[in-house]
Amino acid sequence: MSAPSTETSIAEALAWARKRIQPLEARLLLRHVCRTSAAHLAARPEETLPLAQWEAFQRLIEHRVAGEPIAYLTGEREFYGRAFFVNASVLIPRPETELLIELAVAHFSAVPRPRVLDLGTGSGILAITLALELDHPVITATDISRDALAVATANALRLGVGITFLWSDWYALLKREDRFRLIVANPPYIVEDDPHLAQGDLRFEPRAALASGRDGLRALTAIIAGAGRHLEDGGWLFLEHGYNQAAAVRGLLADAGFADIASWKDMAGIERVSAGRWTG
Ligand code: GLN
């Protein structure tokens, strides 16, 4: 069926799109194009779409049919109850990453003005959410991708938080004397030849935010090795990692001299975050 060309109603547009993509996604994309609510779309099926919106909707559906992630098409994804800008320069926020926030909040919400470092901030979700959830934290966030930092900066403005963003390869551009109470990271950790990288949304995400060497541990190893030089005495390092990496990460933390090492399971029952305390 070719697309109806003129005088297309909301109901016709959705019927056309539903032949190509999932109904829920079709409604989401139409809401995005029309900048309207789900309730409006449901209540006014006979309403005619302006031609520009109908054409924009068709283009989005074509991109979705080609596999592009919904979050990149709408330019947004929710994380910890807040909407963040995303584009193809950053990883799409994942629900399991909320575990890292929950743990950091549980450990640090009673600490006034903690100094916090987020390594490889991407869209900024960890740094910005911690800025909003902790008690007047002082936050630095780094990324090696300037395009990612542009997204993170836009998100910090959108959500009204002040963060020091640094264009830096992990710790490289920090001052030697910079010390933090908490360091967090959701670094790339997928094995470089993992077939999942060629499937689904991952095909469209930045490879540098996903894959990290032949064992997936290159970034995690570098972050753990450098953390001691930038943690306060008693400060913590919290890391997201892959489904089968918890034991390896705990081992790296132990080798680097961390204490009180632990791992926590995500909603799927997978050990997803590990942490250790630096005792100087
Ligand atoms: N959790 C992501 C995935 O498996 C990977 C994110 C990352 O490498 N930090 O798709």
Question: Phi/psi at 180 (nearest 5 deg)?
Answer: -125, 150
Whole-model pTM: value is 0.95
Strand duo 271-277 + 231-240: pairing: antiparallel
Q: What secondary structure letter does DSSP report for 2?
A: P
Mutate to test the pocket of ligand 1, among 79, 119, 204, 210 (most ligand atoms within 8 A of CB): 210
Query: Cα dihedral angle (123, 272, 242, 110), rounded to 10 degrees?
Result: 40
User: pLDDT value at position 7?
Assistant: 85
CA of 240 to the centre of ligand 1 (A): 9
CA of 186 to the centre of ligand 1 (A): 8
Give the ligand 1 atom nearest the CA of 210: 8
Nearest partner of 187 among 229, 139, 141, judged by Cα: 141
Give the ligand 1 atom nearest the CA of 202: 10
10-residue mean pLDDT series, the chain (280 residues): 74 97 97 93 94 96 98 98 98 98 97 98 98 98 98 98 98 97 98 97 98 98 98 98 98 98 97 96
Residues with CB under 6 A from ligand 1: 91, 94, 186-190, 202, 210
